[in-house]
Amino acid sequence: MGVERAKLLAAKPAAQAAKDAFASEYVSGRDDLSVGLGLNQSGDDWAVMVFAQTRAAANALPDHFGDYAVEVQVTGQAKAY
């Protein structure tokens, strides 16, 4: 196992806790946002991943939460086919 992978695995519980706290503060009760945990753009640390239906919803979010980057993607509204 590589050093980076081991570092990420060791840090995952703290990152998951940060994601859960972010969801509680910013996403709870909203149908236009969804949140998960992923890697930042450089791939060397965890990030809070947010999927927003609109640019307005995305703009209301911070770019960091604690020690973690917040990566936001505007996806539009999901449609069932």
Contacts of 26 (CB under 8 A, 6+ apart): 33, 35, 50, 61, 62
Show the domain range for 53.
3-74
Residue 80 resides in a domain: no
- Number of domains within the chain: 1
Q: What are phi and psi of 61, to 5 degrees?
A: -100, 150
Give me the pLDDT at residue 76, please. 84
Residue 50 resides in a domain: yes
Residue 56: CATH number of its domain = 3.30.300
Give me the pLDDT at residue 52, please. 96
Give me the pLDDT at residue 3, please. 82
Residue 79 resides in a domain: no
Give the single-character DSSP code of 27: I
Run means of pLDDT, 10 residues per run, the chain, 81 residues: 86 97 96 95 94 95 96 85 76
Give me the pLDDT at residue 1, please. 56
pTM of the predicted model, to two decimals?
A: 0.87
